[in-house]
Amino acid sequence: MLIESVELVALPNAPIWQEKVYRAHLDSGEDVVLFQHHWDVKLPPESLIGMTLEEAWRKRTERMLAAATGHH
């Protein structure tokens, strides 16, 4: 399953630190929440298009580790 589109979605009644998530629309027609938005990890939603879910998760993890170690 490949990601066809991704949007950053605000969740109603969520605490500020958890208010936005990346929601992906897959080529199977399914919509899934990929992961929570983190203010210190710059990851444009459009950069995830064409990836599998596993690839998107890996990319996010790499960005988070780079930000944590000061290599972003």
Place of tokens 């589109």: 5
| Contact yes or no for 26/3 (Cβ under 8 A) | yes
Predicted TM-score (pTM) of the model is 0.82
Higher pLDDT, 47 or 71: 47
Sign, CA dihedral 13-33-24-16, equals positive
How many CB atoms sit inside 10 A of residue 26's CB? 15
Written as one letter, the residue type at 26 is L
Written as one letter, the residue type at 4 is E
| Tens-place pLDDT, residues 8-64 | 998 888 887 778 999 999 999 999 999 988 777 888 999 999 999 999 999 999 998
Place of tokens 């109603």: 12
Beta bridge partners of 14: none
